[in-house]
């Protein structure tokens, strides 16, 4: 994966070579949630703003909202998760991605942490 950026809410975003942003939750987040049993995605075409709650995740332990790390228009959702929500647990940074966006403002990435900063942040939560 290219340069992945992280939020304090344990979300991630990666911009591919075509300028499309893929977002998801981190391994830390999926571990805290426990076994994920349902994921409700936003509608394709919906415009999101940075930090907007846009994805509902239900697990055996709790229900939580995922905030969009950056603003943009939803162009794709991970349809695999409708039938196999556990993919988020198994592969949060790969097959368990949630949504793809056309970014509204890539400068919003500057507000996010790189991998080293995120690792330091998580280790401080211990």
Rounded to whole angstroms, what are the CA distances from 50 to 9, 81, 84, 94, 116? 12, 23, 27, 22, 22
Domains of the chain: 4-105+114-119 (2.40.50.100)
* pLDDT value, residue 2: 60
- Is the separation of the CB atoms in 13 and 21 below 8 Å? yes
* pLDDT value, residue 85: 97
Q: Is the pTM of this model over 0.75?
A: yes
Q: What is the pLDDT along the chain (126 residues), one digit of tens a residue?
A: 568 999 999 999 999 999 999 999 999 999 999 999 999 999 999 999 999 999 999 999 999 999 999 999 999 999 999 999 999 999 999 999 999 999 999 899 999 999 999 999 999 986
* pLDDT value, residue 1: 52
């Amino acid at each position: 994966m290219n340069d992945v950026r992280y939020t304090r809410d344990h979300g991630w975003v990666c911009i591919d070579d075509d300028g499309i942003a893929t977002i998801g939750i981190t391994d830390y987040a999926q571990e805290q949630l426990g076994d994920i049993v349902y994921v409700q995605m936003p509608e394709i075409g919906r415009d999101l703003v940075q930090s907007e709650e846009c994805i509902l995740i239900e697990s055996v332990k709790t229900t939580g909202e995922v905030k969009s790390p950056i603003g943009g228009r939803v162009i794709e959702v991970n349809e695999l998760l409708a039938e196999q929500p556990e993919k988020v647990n198994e592969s949060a940074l790969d097959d368990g991605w949630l949504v793809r966006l056309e970014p509204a403002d890539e400068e919003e990435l500057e507000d996010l942490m790189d991998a080293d900063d995120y690792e330091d942040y998580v280790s401080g939560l211990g």
